[in-house]
């Protein structure tokens, strides 16, 4: 039998070991604070049924209104010169404007940026579609599309009667744009209604975002 002093020493050792085990367990991966989740993608709070109307100055300083393009299918792209994905979209948007122009489509770029920066950028970068420029009034235009928190780029697709089919937030790629435009054209032809077009767009974008086997 251990002497009391040795028994006490062993008890202390066992207590320390037990405490160390508890600490190790509680600091294992299962009990560590979870890593922060990536930020949720920015989405419009509520997409308006119809496109808003507003006036912004073009590259020549002339005030232009979206109502000038009534009767056209519109691709309204909000961007800024400092935004890398915005810049990457421009060649695709140029091609989209060129390839679909004869089918009644217009691409409108809304630069939410300092005017002098946009004009300098336009001098160096060919953009083959209308560009409207606004600082605070550009942000107000974005909010008119339902964007309470403005993340760039985002692109609104609008049918020829002015109804917003969808708003795509983030960098837009050609397959996504073509899928959305196919649904918008079906609305214009009377083949489907706008609600069915929105459902089809959601399904097609989900399919395009799903990695292959």
The set of residues, in sequence order, having a beta carbon less than 8 Å from that of 120 and lying 6+ positions away, is 81
Of the two residues 166 and 23, the one the predictor is more confident about is 166
Instruction: Give the model's confidence band at 47: pLDDT under 50 very low, under 70 low, under 90 confident, else very high.
Output: confident
What does the pLDDT read at residue 212? 58
Burial call 99-137: b when 16+ CB within 10 Å, e when fewer? ebeeeebbbbbbbbbeeeebbebbeeeebebbbbbbeee
What does the pLDDT read at residue 44? 58
Q: What CATH class has 55-170?
A: alpha beta
- Locate the domains of the chain by residue range: 55-170
Instruction: Give the model's confidence band at 148: pLDDT under 50 very low, under 70 low, under 90 confident, else very high.
Output: confident
Segment 138-144 mean pLDDT? 94
CA pair distance 6, 10, nearest whole angstrom? 6
Ramachandran angles phi, psi of 45, nearest 5°: -60, -55
Ramachandran angles phi, psi of 167, nearest 5°: -125, 120
Residues 89/148/156/118 CA torsion (nearest 10 deg): -40
Ramachandran angles phi, psi of 70, nearest 5°: -55, 140
Segment 7-34 mean pLDDT? 39
């Amino acid at each position: 039998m251990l002497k009391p002093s040795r028994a006490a020493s062993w008890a202390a050792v066992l207590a320390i070991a037990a405490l160390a085990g508890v600490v190790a367990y509680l600091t294992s991966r299962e009990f560590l604070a979870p890593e922060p989740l990536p930020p949720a993608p920015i989405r419009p709070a509520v997409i308006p049924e119809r496109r808003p109307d507003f006036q912004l100055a073009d590259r020549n300083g002339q005030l232009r209104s979206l109502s000038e393009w009534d009767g056209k299918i519109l691709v309204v792209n909000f961007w800024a010169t400092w935004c890398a994905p915005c810049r990457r979209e421009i060649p695709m948007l140029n091609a989209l404007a060129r390839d679909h122009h004869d089918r009644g489509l217009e691409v409108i770029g809304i630069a939410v940026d300092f005017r002098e920066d946009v004009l300098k950028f336009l001098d160096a970068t060919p953009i083959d579609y209308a560009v409207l420029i606004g600082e605070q009034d550009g942000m107000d235009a974005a909010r008119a599309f339902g964007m309470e928190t403005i993340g760039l780029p985002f692109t609104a697709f609008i049918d020829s009667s002015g109804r917003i089919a969808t708003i795509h937030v983030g960098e837009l790629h050609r397959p996504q744009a073509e899928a959305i435009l196919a649904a918008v054209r079906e609305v214009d032809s009377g083949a489907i209604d706008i609600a069915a077009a929105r459902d089809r767009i959601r399904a097609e974008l989900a399919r395009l975002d799903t990695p292959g086997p």
